[in-house]
Amino acid sequence: MKGFIYLLEIAVTAILMVVVLSAFFAIRVKQNWDEPDLVGFGNNIVNFLNQDDNFFIRILEEDFTYIEKSKPVNVGYGLKVKGSPKSKILVGCTQPLLCNYIKSILSDAYVNGRYIKFLLEEFDIRNSIPNYLDAIVLVNYTNYTMNKQRILDYLSSGGMVLGINGTYANNDDDFNEIFRINDTSASGSINSFIAYKPSKDDIEKYFLGIGFDVGSEWYIWEERWKVNYIGSRVNITKSDGSDYNYVSEGEFFDMTGPNGNTYWFRVNKMGSGKANIQAIDIDFVFKDFSDSSDVRGVKIVGPTGLAASMTANGTAIWMSDFPRSDEYRSLAKAAIISRKDEWAPKDVYTTKEKTTVSSFFSLCCDMPEVSELEITLWYAV
């Protein structure tokens, strides 16, 4: 009898071992097949998106319709973009009396077949700076000392601050620390970008790419031009009627800059009583709008070796206060866009095993725009 019980125990043990080992190998097989399956799904999504540039543009607009169409229903995903700004940038304003002014600066920008829109939201900086804001704009702000730590915390969390300030700031040590600027009295009559080097800083690339949004009037080099739309053409005349340009969408025209040189422009897009006009020359000039401030960080705009009109300290960008002229508005927009071109349209929230597939997309043709899209995938069930 004892021998029978012993044999029975051996049999039960053997059965349990088979069950355990079968489960173990089943898990191993599933794990081994998960990764190539997810890679295959990712490649299918990439191939689908490559059929039409508009599919990738829809992702930049945070519309994931084409992702959903090209993946299995039981697969979750996250997305990260490197090299293209989002199409809707949320900008914070903490100065109620200046919010309308900031909104007038941040009009829609058109580039490479899509519009980039700036959405304004008011907040109270005395409480905190919400991390969900893509950027904040401060105009001739005077409370940097009081809110210095809040600003530094926001910057360290990935936020972007554009400070548009005049002479007052030169006596504000906290302002100077945030933006890394110091005082100098040397200035010049003409400003320009210090160097066209998108690999180091791509503010100029975006400035040239987005151009100028124009309605019934256009301020360029601080002069007012009247703009009329006649059929498919745009007529641009000086306020005194002395000069004119009469061009169609896609055509080029030239103007004389404040330094006496000729600069070329293109009518990039027309529609509904508006036009987007793009500056072509990388040596585009500005009238001097510096306010006696130089740089200990990175100088973006100004005469070489003299006072800066725009500086960059990572995602903290300072530009001098400016008179009415559209090149300054475009410069402010380009500064914000340049710091928001690496972002996650859809975050990854899972503890499950993940696989990442990436691919490059090239958008055309207002400026060079090669972007990397990272797609992270996992089995949701």
Between 184 and 158, the more confident residue is: 158
pLDDT at residue number 107 = 96
Give the integer Cα–Cα distance in Å for 110 and 322: 23
**Residues 161-170: what's their mean pLDDT?**
77
Residue-wise DSSP of 117-155: EEEEEE--TTT---TT-SEEEEES---HHHHHHHHHHHH
Give the integer Cα–Cα distance in Å for 349 and 346: 9
Model pLDDT for residues 296-331, shown as the tens digit of each residue: 668 899 887 777 889 999 999 999 999 999 999 999
Cα angle for residues 264, 268, 270 (degrees, 5° grid): 130
**Residues 120-141: what's their mean pLDDT?**
97
Residues 265, 283: contact at Cβ < 8 Å? no
- Burial environment of residue 77 by CB neighbours within 10 A (0 to 12, 13 to 18, 19 or more): buried
Residues 244, 235: contact at Cβ < 8 Å? yes
Q: What is the chain's alpha carbon radius of gyration, rounded to the nearest angstrom?
A: 28
Residues 288, 223: contact at Cβ < 8 Å? no
- 19 confidence band (pLDDT: 50, 70, 90): very low
The pTM (predicted TM-score) of the whole model is 0.88
**Residues 73-98: what's their mean pLDDT?**
97
Strand partners of residue 183: 293
Give the integer Cα–Cα distance in Å for 163 and 182: 14
Residues 110, 266: contact at Cβ < 8 Å? no
Q: Which of 116, 152, 120, 113 is nearest to 135 (CA)?
A: 120
- Burial environment of residue 365 by CB neighbours within 10 A (0 to 12, 13 to 18, 19 or more): exposed
pLDDT at residue number 184 = 61
Asked whether residue 342 carries a pLDDT value surpassing 90, the answer given is: yes
* % helix, strand, coil for the chain, step of 5: 30, 35, 35
Asked whether residue 252 carries a pLDDT value surpassing 60, the answer given is: yes
The domain locations on the chain are 2-84+342-379, 88-338
144-168 burial: b if 16+ Cβ within 10 Å, else e? beebbeebeebbeeebbbbbbbeee
- 105 confidence band (pLDDT: 50, 70, 90): very high
Residues 312, 300: contact at Cβ < 8 Å? yes
Asked whether residue 16 carries a pLDDT value surpassing 60, the answer given is: no
Give the integer Cα–Cα distance in Å for 313 and 159: 13
Q: How far apart are the first and last CA of the chain?
A: 49
Asked whether residue 66 carries a pLDDT value surpassing 60, the answer given is: yes
E-only strand ranges, 288-368: 293-295, 298-301, 310-313, 316-320, 342-346, 355-363
Asked whether residue 17 carries a pLDDT value surpassing 50, the answer given is: no
Can you read off the two tokens belonging to residue 309?
Answer: 């009109």
pLDDT at residue number 253 = 95
Computed over every residue of the chain, the mean pLDDT equals: 88
- 9 confidence band (pLDDT: 50, 70, 90): very low
pLDDT at residue number 300 = 92
Residues 153, 159: contact at Cβ < 8 Å? no
Q: Which of 300, 342, 376 is nearest to 160 (CA)?
A: 342
Give the integer Cα–Cα distance in Å for 273 and 30: 60
